[in-house]
């Protein structure tokens, strides 16, 4: 990899990998994606949402870092109007619903993910118990 490319963990772009042992933005030592691997793929927004949400779920379950969110932000930026009405990530969707219905989220990791994906901090949310529904 002689040219530049993207950090998969944070989405930072560098013009050259020469002399780098880690991402200058986030410090990850994970392999970056070189510019020459940048591709265009045809699929619809709903298919993309499904793929991203499955990947996001796996990332959260296995505590694999923030890679899916970095990729989702880059993808959403390419179609910002679609992303506003229909977020690519479940955290973005939950944040949108929480704001729409004025609810809050109890899981601190999910609150962090929602804040990252929506730019909005959420408070606490508790679903009603079976006796309260």
Residue range 91-128, pLDDT digits in tens? 999 888 888 887 777 888 888 888 888 876 655 444 44
User: Distance between CA 97 and CA 77 in Å, rounded?
Assistant: 20
- d(C-alpha 78, C-alpha 92), whole Å: 16
- Residue 27 structure tokens: 């410090």
Instruction: Say yes or no to pLDDT of 132 above 50.
Output: no
pLDDT in the model for residue 24: 93
Tens digit of each residue's pLDDT (9 = 90 or more) over 45-63: 999 999 999 999 999 889 8
pLDDT tens-digit readout, 62-100: 988 888 998 898 899 999 999 999 999 999 998 888 888
- The residue with greater pLDDT, 7 or 129, is 7
């Amino acid at each position: 990899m002689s040219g530049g490319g993207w950090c998969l963990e944070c989405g930072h772009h560098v013009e050259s990998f020469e002399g780098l042992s880690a991402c200058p933005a986030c410090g990850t030592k994970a392999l970056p994606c070189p510019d020459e691997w940048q591709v265009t793929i045809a699929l619809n927004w709903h298919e993309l949402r499904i793929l991203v949400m499955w990947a996001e779920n796996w990332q959260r379950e296995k505590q694999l870092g923030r890679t899916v969110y970095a990729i989702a932000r880059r993808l959403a930026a390419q179609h910002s109007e679609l992303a506003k009405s229909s977020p690519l990530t479940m955290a973005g969707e939950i944040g949108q619903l929480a704001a729409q219905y004025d609810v809050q989220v109890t899981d601190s990791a999910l609150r962090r993910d929602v804040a990252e994906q929506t730019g909005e901090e959420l408070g606490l949310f508790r679903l009603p118990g079976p006796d309260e529904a």
